[in-house]
Amino acid sequence: MLKIYERLWQVNWAEQWQYRANLLMYLLYDLVSPVVYLAVWITIANSQGSVDGLTANDFITYYLTLLIVDQLTNEITIHILAYKIQDGTLSSELLRPVHPILTSSLVYNLASKVLSFIVLLPVWLVLCLLFRPDYSSVSLGSFLLTLPAVLLGFAIAFLLGAAITCLAFWTTRVYAISDFYSGLVLIFSGQFVPLQLMPPFIQDVARFLPFQMFRYVPIQIVLNKLPPNQILQDFAIGIAWFVVALLLFRLTWREGIKRFSAVGA
Amino acid sequence: MRLFQLLSAFFKVNLQIAVAYRMDTFVNILLNLLWLGWELLGLSIIFSNTPSLGGWSLGELIALLGIFRLVNALMAALIWPNTENFNAAVRDGTLDYTLLQPVDSMFLVTFSRMVIWHAWDMVLATVLIVVGVRMTGSGVTAPNLVSFLFLSVSGTVILYSLWIVLIAATFWFVKFDNNVTILQALLDTGRYPSTVYPTWLRLIVTFLVPIAVATTVPLQALRGDLTGWQVLLFLGIGAASFLVASRVWKAGVRKYSGASA
């Protein structure tokens, strides 16, 4: 089994390495909007000292960490698989003795992450020089505790993304559904603004949704901003969502594959 | 005159496409409304924490959001879909047929594809601009309003000229199908006034990829931040960049040798 993953890795890596120049361009998409919001909040924080107790440095460390966490937990399964379901080319992957999503797509996601980081790191260092963050609140313990949070965040994101991709078995409008889903992620994950600045109602909802595990919780853990009992609660909710996401994915995949008739292939 | 006839023919064809996929059109409009709600939520979060953003009031930012969405809708209705067509046509050589038509090729490449439902988005954006301007109240004078309108047009022309230069670059570097990514990625900077950005970012969005010239600058004119000379300067840059872009386009077409021949 490990051999299969190793081989898949080599294939995916070689395939994506050809597009490394494109990668730099695509990375721009992920960079621009956090930098814009960072500039907006710095302006406000500087004009009145702080925003709800958050200083300019709090915003700088939040958004710069966001850039890293975002790359670690995001997933692109719908872009590599939905069209294969729609045009029927999925059938060639179904003939292989490995799971099309849990192996090929997963490895594709991981390979693209590693490549993104090769491009992101130098850009990130330049941004650090420009914004000069003070990362003194990060400790070894908070760093180590972030690793399982990021892993859990990616696992949930990947499984939910895969479940949505499987809706392509039923509807051709799966991209509209995915658009709607990314809107939810944007609001409830803390991508736009640290969740504690959101209206209380949205904060309460966000606490029980899986999305805060994608960005907000890992960022706040590494920056040492959450009390231990809050971290415990967030992990518990995250693990519950992991189980839900796993069940959702298994259900959509099993029922979807029954309907699959490989149109056009 | 002939160009208008062509435009209305393009419009009819594209309208038929939109009607054929009416469910998609409906879903897109619904999603679009959702995004608007989300953008207004963003503004309300910002202004629940501060009375003004770098000297800009809520009304001014709503007007800016309107301008931004107008530019965005124009891009989504015309520029992005036609870029796709253009890149595909260069790759497989069908651009030859466009160049052989007895009509200006720049015109054909710009208008042949239209995504009609974005017309709705433009109406919505106009409403935002009107509401925003009214919220800023009595401070708006007639000359400022006129320069605002002129600068919005010339700013859009500047962005359009940049687009023409970018896709014309494909004539020299054939493997350049990322030609508009930088424009697409930086477009989001138009949502907030460029005056709040750090200097390096402000320089990029003013001179290198001048998104701000189509969004922040017209709003500055409306607020009365610009002198008469500055307004004339920006209008001049708009006219000059269009002339340069059409020159570059013509040179590119001469350079183009066709993939099919």
Digit-coded pLDDT (tens) for B58-89: 999 999 999 999 999 999 999 999 988 888 88
Contact B221, B152 (CB under 8 A): no
Quick one: pLDDT band at residue A76, thresholds 50, 70, 90? Answer: confident
Domain count, chain B: 1
Position A227 scores a pLDDT of: 93
Angle at B130 between CA B128 and CA B133, to 5 degrees: 105
Mean pLDDT score of chain A: 89
Q: B261 pLDDT exceeds 60?
A: no
Q: A41 pLDDT exceeds 90?
A: yes
Residue of higher predicted confidence among B236 and B99: B236
Hunting for tokens 């059938």 — which residue is that?
Answer: A91
What is the rounded CA–CA span in Å between residue B213 and residue B234?
8
Q: Chain A closest CA to B154's CA: distance in Å?
A: 24
Q: B6 pLDDT exceeds 90?
A: no
Q: Chain A closest CA to B24's CA: distance in Å?
A: 8
Of A44, A130, A176, the CB nearest to B31: A176
With an 8 Å Cβ cutoff, the interface of chain A facing chain B consists of: 21-22, 25-26, 28-29, 31-33, 35-36, 39-40, 43-44, 47-48, 51-52, 130-131, 173, 176, 179-180, 183, 186-187, 192-193, 197-199
Residue B198's alpha-carbon distances to A36, B55, B201, B247, in angstroms, are 10, 15, 6, 34
Contact B260, B96 (CB under 8 A): yes
Hey, is the C-beta of B184 within 8 angstroms of any chain A C-beta? Answer: yes
Position B141 scores a pLDDT of: 84
Give Cβ neighbours of residue A110 (< 8 Å, ≥ 6 apart): A9
Contact B34 A26 (CB under 8 A): no
Taking contacts as CB-CB distances below 8 angstroms, the residues of chain A near B34 are 180, 183
Contact B178 A22 (CB under 8 A): yes
Q: B140 pLDDT exceeds 80?
A: no
Is B48 domain-assigned? yes
Q: A261 pLDDT exceeds 80?
A: no
Position A180 scores a pLDDT of: 87
Amino acid at A37: Y
Contact A33 B188 (CB under 8 A): yes
Position B66 scores a pLDDT of: 94
Structural domain boundaries enclosing B107: 2-255
Taking contacts as CB-CB distances below 8 angstroms, the residues of chain B near A47 are 50, 54
What is the rounded CA–CA span in Å between residue B163 and residue B83?
9
pTM: 0.89
What is the rounded CA–CA span in Å between residue B190 and residue B69?
9
Is B260 domain-assigned? no
Taking contacts as CB-CB distances below 8 angstroms, the residues of chain A near B31 are 176, 179-180, 183
Contact B134, B59 (CB under 8 A): yes
Position A13 scores a pLDDT of: 84
**Nearest residue of chain A to residue B36 (CA atoms):** A183
Give tens-digit pLDDT for B20-52: 877 888 888 888 888 898 889 889 999 988 888
Q: B247 pLDDT exceeds 70?
A: yes
Average pLDDT over residues A123-129: 95
Taking contacts as CB-CB distances below 8 angstroms, the residues of chain A near B27 are 173, 176
Quick one: pLDDT band at residue B161, thresholds 50, 70, 90? Answer: very high
Average pLDDT over residues B146-173: 90
Quick one: pLDDT band at residue B176, thresholds 50, 70, 90? Answer: low
The DSSP line for A69-95 is HHHHH---HHHHHHHHHHHSTHHHHHT
Quick one: pLDDT band at residue B259, thresholds 50, 70, 90? Answer: low
Q: A264 pLDDT exceeds 90?
A: no
Q: A154 pLDDT exceeds 90?
A: yes
Position A246 scores a pLDDT of: 96
Hey, is the C-beta of B28 within 8 angstroms of any chain A C-beta? Answer: yes
What is the rounded CA–CA span in Å between residue B106 and residue B79?
12
Give tens-digit pLDDT for B91-137: 788 888 888 888 888 888 888 888 888 988 999 999 999 999 888 87
Q: A265 pLDDT exceeds 70?
A: no
Least Cα distance to A191 among A48, A22, A66 occurs for: A66
Quick one: pLDDT band at residue A7, thresholds 50, 70, 90? Answer: confident
Give Cβ neighbours of residue B231 (< 8 Å, ≥ 6 apart): B147, B150, B151, B221
Quick one: pLDDT band at residue B258, thresholds 50, 70, 90? Answer: low
Give tens-digit pLDDT for A178-223: 988 988 898 899 988 899 999 899 999 999 999 999 999 999 999 9
Mutate: best of B22, B36, B50, partner A, most A CBs <10 A = B50
Burial class of residue B213 in the structure, from the number of CB atoms within 10 Å of its CB (0-12 exposed, 13-18 middle, 19+ buried): buried
What is the rounded CA–CA span in Å between residue B106 and residue B140?
37
Average pLDDT over residues A221-238: 94
Quick one: pLDDT band at residue A161, thresholds 50, 70, 90? Answer: very high
Of A36, A44, A130, the CB nearest to B200: A130
Of B34, B35, B185, the CB nearest to A28: B185
Amino acid at B45: I
Is B261 domain-assigned? no
**Nearest residue of chain A to residue B52 (CA atoms):** A44
Q: A39 pLDDT exceeds 90?
A: yes
Work out whether the CA dihedral A87, A93, A94, A95 comes out positive or negative.
positive
